[in-house]
Each structure stands twice: as structure tokens, then as C-alpha cells.
Amino acid sequence: MKYAPAAYIKTFLFLLSAFVITHQSFAQFKSIANPTKGNCFTPNLHRSPQSEVWMSWQQKLASGKHALWMSKFNNNSWSKPIKVVQEGAQKWFVNWADFPTLTTFGKNAIAVNFLQKSANSTYAYDVKLKISNDAGKTWQPTFTAHTDGTPTEHGFVSLAPASKNRFLAVWLDGRETAKKSHDSPQHGGHHHGASAKAMTLRAAFFDTQGKPSQPTLLDSRVCDCCQTALAATDNGFVAVYRNRSAEEIRDIGYVTYRNGQWSKPQILHSDGWKINGCPVNGPSISANGNQVAVAWYTNARNQPRVKVAFSKDGGQTFGYPTKIDEGNPLGRVAIAALPNGGAIVVWLEMKDNKTLLQLCKVSANGKLSKVETISQTSQSRASGFPQITIQGKQALIAWTQVQGKATKQHRKSIKKQIKTVIFPIK
């Protein structure tokens, strides 16, 4: 038997390591300093119709209370942060998966939501809204998005600007679950009971004074605690969410709003994921005109996948989905539509026992770019859900970076910090 010279072995190992590094390459993501401070988490990104980008986030204060902040991104820097509201005597519901959102609307109006406890039961909380008509300088009194008055779960809100100085809100509404127990500890504490009284999906428009119009039941049976997502198109709106069939199939559902009317619920693609509990892993949607892109996670037949599907007609129909992950995704997806009809997707994936925040560009015909690693992160709930939006020729990405590991005895040892980077679009 002949043995290779040591020099050949070294060359081989060098080439092998170079291949591995290339395969898992960290792209040239540029870190952008942001105005968040210590103990900040749950970033949410919004791009206005005028291509202004805003970020909202929560902060846990030294007092143990929480505050909701926002800042505007312009010329690759963030404006001085604005404190929207601070937790008072009435406790907030603060959660890794159900978090505040923001939308601009009208000329200088901004609407934000947060979650406030409505009763002592752990998962009894309401969707609270605040409106500013002067770009955040002053705020109107807080009001509740829904009028049912039940001490049940209301959350997972999506907001979007609408015509006639209004904005649209879509949320999960538990008013029909009033007789169901709300104290299951599964999946971060949200309830998942088998009662026939299911979680519902509801919507309403609000004007600059908070007056509601067109309150609508969109779907009478949906997954209890997966995020909703909402996008405006040239023809109206598309809302996506995780549906829940009587047989516990939890695939992605969607409804559209056109000509003043909401459509009946439809299934975007039949993955056939049967699961007897909520996976806490909702879809993401983005649109440019009537070009709509949706990303989601599924684990049908115990095969974890991140998929993307496109619509060319404002969400009336969707093409066959494209798988974009590398084989072991955790989900937590976010998507941003590109002007050319494609999209950029970010998600979490396990690789070599590491949790990575991944990025991939996908064309409207399903052609994929190389998967890029944005950062190593954590699969813990505290790391939350990444965000992405497009501004000009770059993508802006935000996520919660976690240091430390939570235990029942040392939960406070976790440190959270919001990271923001930009990624050039070629």
C-alpha cells in the first residue's frame, strides 16, 4: 500500500476545508447600528407605500415593566427612537411569538398594536391599538380592536395601510373558545384544546380616529397560535395564516379582499400536515403590485420544509411551491418580494448542531440562489422571529440575538439584543 506524502495530505485538507467554508459561506452582510438598548426583543419591520422603513420593538425595563418603541430607517441609519407606550398598572402580555406590529397609513399617520391582559387567566388578553396622526409626535388614547369583551386570547396581529386614510387589522380571535381551558403549558403556553369552539380569524378597518368599519369573520376555525401575515396588492389585500381542519390538518390558508368584499378561505397548498397542537410557526407574505410571494414551514410526514409560492394575480391563484431549505429547517420564516417578481426569504435552520439564520433568493419560476448564512443564532423561543424588508437595492434584516441559556432557575440570565444588517440586492 502506498501512502500519500504529507504535503499532499495538507493540500487535500486545505482544499476540503475551503469547500466546507464555501458551502456554508457567510455573505457580506453589513451590520447597521440600531437605536435599541439592552433587553430589547421582538423587532418588527414595516415598509410604507413611499418605501419608508420603520421598526418597532419591545424592551423590558429595569422596573420589570415593558415599553414599546419605534424608529425610522433612512440613509442607512436609524432615527432617534420614539417611545410609543409603556406598560402601566394593567399588565401586558409579552410573548416570543405574539408581538406588536406597526403600519403607516394616510399622510402622516401610524398605527401600532400591543397586547394587554384582560383577566387573570394566563391567556386572556386583548389587542390594543394606538394611533398617531403626526408621525409619532403625539398619540391618541389606546383602544381595543375588538368588542366581544370575552376574557380570551386575541393576538397575532397583522396591520397594513388602506385607502381613505384607514388601515386594516387582521388578528386571531378566541371569543368562541370562552368555555375552553387556557392553561395548557404546551408550545409556549398557548392553548391547543380539542374543543369544537375553535380560534377564529377576524379583520376590521380603522380610520385616523380609531373608528372601526367592516368587522368581518374571515375563518371560523384556524390554528391557535401561528402568526398571521398581510399584504396589500393593486387589487386589495391578501391575508395568510395557518388553517385548522376538523381532522387537524394545519396547512396554510388565505383570504383575499377585492372590491369591498372578503373571499372565502382557501388552502394555498395541500401539504397535509396533521398535528394535534399548534406548531407556533406561521407564514409570511410580501407583495409588489399583484406579484405576491408567500413563505411557510411545514413538517408534513415528518419532513421539515420551508416552501415558497408565488401569485401573479394578486393572490387569486398560487403556483406550485418551491422548497428552499437545506434539509433541517426550524421555520420562523420571513419573506420580502422583489421588483423582478422573485423574493428573498430568511429562516432558521439546524446545521452541524448549530442554529443558523439563513437567506436565499428565489425567482418567480423557482430558481434558487446559493443559501447564505446571516448569523449563528439560537433555537430558543427568546430568539423569536426574524424580519426582512426591501428598501431600494438592499434588504434590511432584523432579529433578536440571544446570549445564555434559559432554565427555570436562571431565566433572567438570558441577554437579548436586536441585530440589524443590510444585504445588497444584485
Q: What is the pLDDT along the chain (426 residues), one digit of tens a residue?
A: 333 344 433 333 333 333 333 333 355 899 999 999 889 999 999 999 999 999 999 999 999 999 999 999 998 999 999 999 999 999 999 999 999 999 999 999 999 999 999 999 999 999 999 999 999 999 999 999 999 999 999 999 999 999 999 999 999 999 999 864 444 434 444 544 444 589 999 999 999 999 999 999 999 999 999 999 999 999 999 999 999 999 999 999 999 999 999 999 999 999 999 999 999 999 999 999 999 999 999 999 999 999 999 999 999 999 999 999 999 999 999 999 999 999 999 999 999 999 999 999 999 999 999 999 999 999 999 999 999 999 999 999 999 999 876 555 555 567 899 999 999 998
- The widest CA-to-CA distance across the chain, in whole angstroms, is 85
pTM above 0.85, yes or no: yes
Break the chain into its structural domains and give their ranges: 38-424
**In sequence order, which residues have a C-beta less than 8 Å from that of residue 231 and are 6 or more positions away?**
160, 237, 238, 285, 286, 287, 292, 315
Residue 285's DSSP bridge partners are 294
Looking at residue 250, what is its pLDDT?
A: 98
Q: What is the H or E stretch that residue 162 is in?
A: strand 154-162
Q: Would you say 161 and 167 are in contact if contact means Cβ atoms under 8 Å apart?
A: yes
Rounded distance between C-alpha atoms, residue 223 and residue 200, angstroms? 8
First to last CA, the chain: 51
Q: What is the H or E stretch that residue 13 is in?
A: helix 6-23
Looking at residue 8, what is its pLDDT?
A: 36
The secondary structure of residue 92, as a DSSP letter, is B
Which cell goes with 254? 388565505
Rounded distance between C-alpha atoms, residue 57 and residue 62, angstroms? 16
How many other CB atoms sit within 10 Å of the CB of residue 119?
Answer: 13
Rounded distance between C-alpha atoms, residue 313 and residue 291, angstroms? 7
CATH code of the region 38-424: 2.120.10.10
**In sequence order, which residues have a C-beta less than 8 Å from that of residue 285 and are 6 or more positions away?**
229, 230, 231, 238, 239, 240, 292, 293, 294, 295, 335
